[in-house]
Copies of this chain bind each other. A is one copy, B any other.
Amino acid sequence: MAQKIAIVGLGLVGGSIGMALRNWVAKNAERSGLQITGFNRSYERRREAERRGAVDKAYGNLASAVVDADLVVISVPVLAAREVLEEVAPLLAPGTVVTDTCSTKGKLMQWARELLPTTVQFVGGHPMAGGTGSIESARGDLFEKHPYAVVAPTNADQQAVSRVLWLVEAIGSEPYFVDADEHDVYVGAISHLPYLLSVGLMKQVSEGPGWAEISKFASTGFRDVSRLASGDPTMHRDICITNRETILRWLDGYLDTLRGLRDDLSNEQLDTESLFDTFSQAKQARDAWWDGVPVRKELDQEMSEITREATSGGMRRLFLGSLGQRSGPKSKP
């Protein structure tokens, strides 16, 4: 574990990491010496991070935040992370471990190699959880039971990897080891492509005629498919810049798939059986994925029961014992 952690960037993710660590300390009283500092340019966000207990102290000066830290967590959009690496490089004591929570890894691992001194170890990270909002939406359980990609350089120091693994598990996530390039291909499929679909949908329907009327009918289905479009534009711009080739490959494949669906649907002799098969296969694939996620499914079912209780105005007292438990898969070390 670490003794002093500096979180650079107090947004939704950085703030939630601090709050999750605070929860961990509360459950591990003997480790109460853990110190958490934070850095953010905005005065308001520094105060909010302190108010929420995400950090012991938040600084507007990077050097003050990272001094004596044995673990530095960079939690800003990818392009800003490059600047942070450059700026912290001369400030870090030998033996410091640096990690990040950025959305893409290929370029970042390269920048860390180029910019950090060899006395400092870098191990990349990416919590597969998030959402819209900033420090005001931060919560200590944001990462609980969610996957967390850990990207260790081939020559990584085992102690540095252990320190990052400790962080991942302290905040309740499930670590998965993965190469930087694999990571970028994977998140291209399950995060960056879905974001662009969501943006495209929002652009298409809201810029067309009649949106004022149409939008009144939009409900849960639209809410879900459009949700990612509410994501941070800066973060997603940086993602597109640093993972462009991979995203373009996924997007081209997607355009082909959708054009295929379009052609099937426009065929004068509509093949309704084939249409049914396409929809059935998509359902099977989606259900199989979701069924293969027992921990998250359990959480979802519990949630829908809570919704039911809450909105039906039935029971007012909810005992949620099983939600406190943790279990789940763990990948190769």
* Interface residue from B200, B213, B221, B283 paired with A261 (Cβ < 8 Å): B200
A285 and B196 within 8 A (CB)? no
Kindly list chain B residues whose C-beta atoms are within 8 Å of the C-beta of A225.
194, 197-198, 224-225, 227-228
**Docked pose: A255 CA to B258 CA in angstroms:** 8
Kindly list chain B residues whose C-beta atoms are within 8 Å of the C-beta of A207.
285
Given contacts A147-B216, A176-B217, A272-B241, contact A194 B258 (CB under 8 A): no
- Mask of A254-273 contacts with B, CB within 8 angstroms, 1/0: 11011101100110001010
B215 and A279 within 8 A (CB)? no
Would you give the shortest CB distance from A83 to chain B, in whole angstroms?
15
Copies of this protein chain in the complex: 2
**Docked pose: A226 CA to B234 CA in angstroms:** 24
Most chain-B CB neighbours within 10 Å: which of A199, A204, A237? A204
The prevalent SS among residues of A at the interface is helix
Kindly list chain B residues whose C-beta atoms are within 8 Å of the C-beta of A306.
303, 306-307, 310
Interface contacts beyond A200-B258, A203-B285: sample of 20 additional A-B pairs, CB < 8 Å, sorted by A: A23-B312, A131-B220, A139-B312, A183-B217, A190-B217, A190-B221, A190-B222, A197-B225, A197-B258, A201-B254, A203-B281, A206-B286, A224-B227, A225-B225, A229-B282, A229-B286, A252-B262, A255-B255, A302-B310, A313-B323
Residues of A in contact with B (beta carbons under 8 Å apart) = 23, 128-131, 139-141, 144, 146-147, 149, 176, 178, 182-183, 185-187, 189-191, 193-208, 210, 213-234, 236-237, 240-241, 244, 247-248, 250-255, 257-259, 261-262, 265-266, 270, 272, 275-276, 278-283, 285-287, 289-290, 292, 296, 299, 302-303, 306-313, 316-320, 323-324, 329, 331
Which 8 residue pairs across A and B have the least CB separation, nearest first? A233-B279, A206-B285, A128-B219, A194-B225, A190-B218, A313-B324, A224-B224, A141-B311
